[in-house]
Amino acid sequence: MEPSPSQICRLHVNGDERSCGVTPHTTLLEALRYELGLTGSKQGCDKGDCGACTVLVDGDPVLACITLALAAEGRDVRTVEGLAEGATPHPLQDALDRTGGAQCGFCTPGILMSAAALLEREPAPSREAIALALSGNLCRCTGYTKIFEAVELAARELRERGTRPKVAAR
Amino acid sequence: MSAREKPGTAAPDPGMAIPKGRQMPKEERLTPPAWQGGRAVPPNGDAFRLIGQRSRKLEGLAKVTGRAIYADDILLPRMLHAKLLRSIHAHARIVSIDASAALAMPGVHAVITGKDLPEYFGIIPWTQDEQALCETKARYVGDAIAAVAADSERLAEEALRKIRVEYDVLQAITSIDEGLEHPAIQVNEKAAEGNISKHVHLEFGPVDELLAKSDAVVEAEYWYEGSTHGPIEPHCCVAEYDATGFLTVWSSTQVAHYLHRDLAKVLGLPTQRIRVIQPVVGGAFGGKSEPFSLEFCAAKLSMLTGRPVKILYTREEVFYAHRGRHPMRLRYRTGVMNDGSLTGTDAKIHIDGGAYSSFGLVTTYYSGQLLTAPYAMPGYRFDSTRVFTNKPCCGPKRGHGSVQPRFAFECQLDKLAEKIGMDPIALRRKNHIGEATRTVNGLRVTSNGFLQCLDAVEKASDWERRWRQLPYGRGLGVAGSMYISGTNYCIYPNEMPQSAVQLKLDRSGRATLFCGISDIGQGAESVLAMIVGEELGLGLRDIRVVAADTDLTPVDLGSYSSRETFMCGNAALDAARKLRDLIAETLSERWGVPKSDVVLAQGMAVAASDPKQHAMTVRDAFQAAEARHGTLGTVGWYQSPKLGGDYRGGTIGASPAYSFTAHVAEVECDPEMGWVTVKKIWVAHDCGRALSPVAVEGQMEGSAYMGFGEALMETHTFKPAAVGHGAGIHHGPSLLDYRMPTSMDTPELESIIIESVDPEGPYGAKEAGEGPLHPSIPAIANAIHDALGIRCDRLPFSPPAVLALLKAGDVRAAWEQSRRPRVAIGTPAGAPRPRVVKQ
């Protein structure tokens, strides 16, 4: 039988201090989705193949379905829910919506986090660099074309604003 | 047009035939109101305000901010989690099941087996051959046998391991030929004969005579490997049976209405005690267009435990649930005259159906019926047989039943063009069927923009200068296709509308549209909002769409056969025009102007003749109309006209409108390694009027991408029976092993929208979701031929396959031979092309 939650896991998520009960094998994705109610991150394969669960840990994209919740303790976790600045969507979110880069929307949270990490490193990425950064995120709807356009659009907007997206820390 | 069945085939079909007298709709079919000026015109007479704009989707921001609620995001109090025990054998009799050890585990609440849900179901009423849990026999590896509800998913999984199933393992059938050769080893006992799921033989025109008199005939066999949908969201459902005996099911389905009916049948509940809700769906592509074991099991377990129950399939289970593209073996004989006109086409098709029927009856017809445009065919015969095998059931994947024959046929055309020394685009133009016509099998074609599609891809790809002129290893290929805009008839025969909406206007200036429409990411709900906004002068933010909830919304049949924009769009247009009429009448009386003078646009109601004098906000106009007519609300509905050929099966393939597509693909091949890289695909698609160009382009790009994946990378294959142990096990049921193209693999995609305004579509719109997939594969195959001189007749075009073809003969010499002088540059598009004489 499954052990009852045996440990308290303290997570720093989207700027909030949250804690939940976990077992040693509870994944970060399970903790986020089912314990903390952050259902924006999706489970598409549960084995690290599809990228729908991508979140940022200390600014780097990681696959939350193959990361243990306890391994993320004390680190800065950012999910799709933490991307917007208050009620204003992040330029990447806005651009994906405008270009039609989110069809069914299921891969979108993961795509957004991978793209946000890219733009943090590289404010003016080439299309090749965007494709490489998103190569771990499978999208089955769009053929990626409109996603590339969205990332380019968001990068341009961020450059014009003269700010980089704040994804690593608030 | 003539249709005759071969002697002997008029007798009862082997397999599960449609009962006699049921296949044709009644004469007194309802037809929707005809609006003055038709359906294609803008409501204010001049121009469209919302239609054709590049707009956001209604639910777009919810999706990008992580707020959209998918089935697995639903967490109810006291909810249990259930898992399914699945067969480890491809074919085995179930001798006994002992679940006592599982039931004894603390935290396990219920276990059910086939005896608890014995009723058969199936999406097609005449071929209901599935049970939610196998009662006596498992027919494929992964067939569901038992279900456990427990406090957590992990606990349910552990409990599954304690269920003891005694199997009597049977010989497995894992291929079409095995199924045909061993009728005594019957996969599916519901088959009337051996392992034949369905057989269709139809013949139109004197095929043999036409072939005999042809100047050139090409005969070849093609193999289409199976592929699966691969939506990123796995199937998931939550069922809650409450204390009043009412069942609510949230499911990642694209056919809430059909699921509703089958739940009632299998659970023995009256339909009015069941509510089906489709939450936001994370991709479907046809893979969620029929009921699955999870919905019945979650519901039954909720009924037994009195608690909500969730079932979420693992990715592996999604691969085994399948219902994807049928593997097909297709043999074609096609004839052509030296001037390029097609003569006869003779097709013999074998279809690997997997263990159950699913939509197989329709698939078998579609494999032949949907080939008869965009090219005129004086003679056409097809003979299609769907065979049961001990593998996951195949079904409808984007471009249901017609992607495979389209691949074969467009390769045939390329070969014929080469044989008579004609440019393959010119050959296609030459045989263009035209608009306002009928196909050889009796399909009514209304609008047709195929020629413009050909022109567009020819120009965009610089075909004239580059085809047959690129260096060795590089090439261009062309292909065309057509597809339906909604199947003309409901899956279960009835005379009720196929789509319906209710439209409510609020004093606040807001409209709410209720419709059974299934948005699976294509933007179907947004299209309805655009139509309502266009008619009532509202912006998209002032319109709410309540969709796919059987308690709240009138019936729409669901998201399949590319029907939503056409059929729900027409229903929404109907409702919105009725409402607009009430408002126009009110204002015309108040202002003393004719009704036709009233304009509702961009939030304002004005009299076009005197907008300074007569103007108010639409909110005020709604209130005036409410004071005049009472509470404002209308219904709208759509029913297609009676269509189809007057012969058995003649309604299958009938659609109120057809879309047309042409692709040119450019490839770069590595002849040393056999690698094919698709550099670019130009996609021109005639979708009628593009109501939402962003959504249309998204469908075109997504379709071309998916076809590309099938052509080069994806294979849904299983261990054959010959290996003995492990027969029927999937070769790679994961998103790592099943190679869906990534952002690095996908070629550049350029979409070119062609708008032939259709007389019957809403504002002239047709489909865009499935048609644009079809030409991808043959265009790539034909481009590989241009690059290397080889003919890829078997999918996928993987490096080993390409290498084997390169080594099969002196193909380099054949390639050198194929380099010819070109047609003079500057020939006007659309004009008949001069034949290029072979040197």
Query: What are B184-194's pLDDT values in tens digits?
Result: 999 999 999 99
Give the phi and the psi of residue B684 in degrees, each rounded to 5. Answer: -115, 125
What residues of chain B, 629 to 658, have a C-beta less than 8 Å from chain A?
Answer: none
Give me the phi and psi of B395, to 5 degrees please.
-160, -140
A141 to chain B: closest CA residue: B702
Mean pLDDT confidence for B355-363: 97
Q: Give the closest-approach CA distance of B145 to chain A in angstroms.
A: 22
**pLDDT by residue (tens digit) across B159-176?**
999 999 999 999 999 999
Asked whether residue B439 carries a pLDDT value surpassing 90, the answer given is yes
Of B291 and B822, which is predicted with more confidence? B291
In this predicted structure, what is the pLDDT of residue A3? 55
The more confidently predicted of residues B386 and B34 is B386
Find chain A residues with C-beta within 8 A of B678's C-beta: none
Q: What is the C-alpha to C-alpha distance for residues B222 and B238, in angstroms, rounded to an integer?
A: 42
Chain B: give the shortest CA distance to residue A126, in Å: 13
Count CB-CB contacts under 10 A for residue A166. 14
Q: What residues pair up with B113 in beta bridges, in sequence order?
A: B146
Q: Which residue among A100, A103, A134 sits closest to B743, beta carbon to beta carbon?
A: A134
Counting every residue written for chain B, the total comes to 839
CA distance B309 to B71: 12
Search chain B and give the residue with CA nearest A4: B152
Tell me the pLDDT band of B11, cut-offs 50, 70 and 90. Answer: very low
Q: Which helix (H) or strand (E) holds B286?
A: none
Q: Does B688 touch chain A (CB under 8 A)?
A: no
CB atoms within 10 A of CB B332: 23
SS3 B582: helix
Q: Within 10 A of B440 (CB to CB), how many other CB atoms are there?
A: 23
Q: How far is A11 from chain B (nearest CA, A)?
A: 19
pLDDT tens-digit readout, B260-316: 999 999 999 999 999 999 999 999 999 999 999 999 999 999 999 999 999 999 999
The H-or-E segment that residue B511 falls in is strand B511-515
Reported as a single tens digit per residue, the pLDDT across B624-671 is 999 999 999 999 999 999 899 889 999 999 999 999 999 999 999 999
Task: At B482, list the tokens.
Answer: 């057509």
Among the partner residues A37, A43, A104, nearest to B283 by beta-carbon distance: A104
**Locate tokens 């002068």: which residue?**
B537
Among B279, B367, B312, B419, CA closest to B84: B312
Q: Residue B315 and residue A47: Cβ atoms within 8 Å?
A: yes
The pLDDT of residue B4 is: 43
Start-to-end C-alpha separation, chain A:
40
- Give yes or no for a cis peptide into B796 (omega within 30° of 0): yes
Task: Give residues with Cβ within 8 angstroms of B627, minimum separation 6.
Answer: none
Q: Are B332 and B324 in contact (CB under 8 A)?
A: no
Cα B62 to Cα A87, A102, B67, B68, B280, distances in angstroms: 12, 10, 5, 5, 10
Which of A41, A77, A106 to probe by mutation at the B interface, max B CB count within 10 Å? A106
Q: How distant is the alpha carbon of residue B284 from its chain centre?
A: 9
Average confidence (pLDDT) over B745-768: 97
Better-predicted residue by pLDDT, B837 or B701 = B701
pLDDT at site B301:
98
Instruction: Flag if B314 and A46 touch (Cβ within 8 Å).
Output: yes
Residue B835 pLDDT grade (very low, low, confident, very high; cuts 50, 70, 90):
very low
**A145 closest CA partner among B680, B521, B754, B771:** B680
Read off the pLDDT band of B354 (50, 70, 90).
very high
Give me the percent of chain A exceeding a pLDDT of 90: 90
Q: For all residues of chain B together, what is the average pLDDT?
A: 93
Contact B725, B90 (CB under 8 A): no
pLDDT at B15 over 90: no
Residue B828's CB is within 10 A of a number of other CB atoms, namely 8
Per-residue pLDDT, B19 = 41
- Smallest Cβ–Cβ distance between A103 and the set B69, B698, B748 belongs to B698
B34 pLDDT higher than 90: no
Number of other CB atoms surrounding residue B529 within 10 Å? 26
Q: Helical H runs in B630-760?
A: 693-712
Model pLDDT, residue B723: 74
Quote the minimal CA–CA distance from A152 to chain B in Å.
15
Q: CA-nearest residue of chain A to B750?
A: A145
Single-letter amino acid, residue B462? D
Residue B130 is which amino acid? E
Q: Residue B612 — very low, low, confident or very high, per pLDDT cuts 50/70/90?
A: very high
Dihedral sign from CA coordinates of B715, B720, B724, B730: positive
The per-residue pLDDT for B820 is 64
Task: Inspect the interface and report whether the beta carbons of A143 and B59 lie closer than 8 Å.
Answer: no
Q: Indicate the range of B391-405, B435-449, B805-819 predicted with least confidence.
A: B805-819
Positions of chain A with pLDDT under 70:
1-4, 163-170
Q: Is there a contact between A79 and B746 if contact means CB atoms under 8 Å apart?
A: no
CB contact under 8 A, A143 and B158: no
Residues 539-558 of B with CB under 8 A from A: none
| Lowest mean pLDDT across B235-239, B285-289, B328-332, B835-839 | B835-839
Within B135-264, strands assigned E span 137-138, 144-150, 164-169, 196-204, 216-224, 236-241, 247-251
Cβ contact (<8 Å) for A138 and B734? no
Question: Measured between CB atoms, which of A33, A93, A99 is closest to B65?
Answer: A93
Inform me whether the pLDDT recorded for B826 exceeds 70: no
Residue B16 has pLDDT above 50, yes or no: no
Buried b (16+ CB within 10 A) or exposed e, B5-41: eeeebeeebbbbbbeeeebbbeeeeeebeeeeeebbe
Q: Chains A and B: how many Cβ contacts under 8 Å?
A: 182
* Residues facing B636 on adjacent strands: B501
Q: What is the structure's pLDDT at B5?
A: 40
Half-sphere exposure (Cβ direction) of B146: Cα atoms closer than 13 Å: 26
CA distance B836 to B823: 7
Residue B158 in contact with partner chain A when CB distance is under 8 A? yes
Kindly report the pTM of this predicted structure. Answer: 0.94
- Across the interface, whether the CB atoms of A148 and B281 are under 8 A apart is answered no
Give burial (CB, 10 Å; 0-12/13-18/19+) of A23.
Answer: middle
User: Smallest Cβ distance to A104: which of B106, B520, B697?
Assistant: B520
d(Cα A22, Cα A5) in Å, to the nearest integer? 5
Spell B182-221 as b/e; 16+ CB within 10 A means b. eeebbbbebbeebbbbbbbbbbbbbbeebbeebebbbeee
Mean pLDDT confidence for B684-692? 98
Selected residues 520-539 of chain B with any CB under 8 Å from a CB in chain A: 520-523
Residue with tokens 């085994």: B320
Kindly report the nearest CA distance between residue B733 and chain A, in angstroms.
Answer: 10
- What pLDDT sits at residue B824? 44
Query: Which token pair is B176?
Result: 């079409």
Q: What is the pLDDT of residue B828?
A: 45
Please tell me which residue, A169 or B480, carries the higher pLDDT value.
Answer: B480
Collapse the DSSP code of A115 into the 3-class scheme (helix H, G, I; strand E, B; otherwise coil) and give the result.
helix
Residue A130: what residue type? I
Greater confidence, A70 or B809? A70
Identify the weakest region by mean pLDDT among B27-41, B312-326, B593-607: B27-41
B704: contact with A, CB 8 A cutoff: yes
CB-CB contact of B289 with B313 (8 Å): no
Alpha-carbon span B331 to B419, nearest angstrom: 18
Report the candidate in B144, B156, B100 with the shortest Cα–Cα distance to residue B310.
B156
pLDDT of residue B32: 75
Residues of chain B with Cβ-Cβ distance to A107 below 8 Å are 232, 282
Cis geometry, peptide bond prior to residue B374 (ω within 30 degrees of 0): yes
Among the ranges given (B291-295, B353-357, B493-497, B780-784), the one the predictor scored with the smallest mean pLDDT: B493-497
CB contact under 8 A, B521 and A103: yes
pLDDT-based confidence at residue B839 (cuts at 50, 70, 90): very low
pLDDT score, position B25: 53
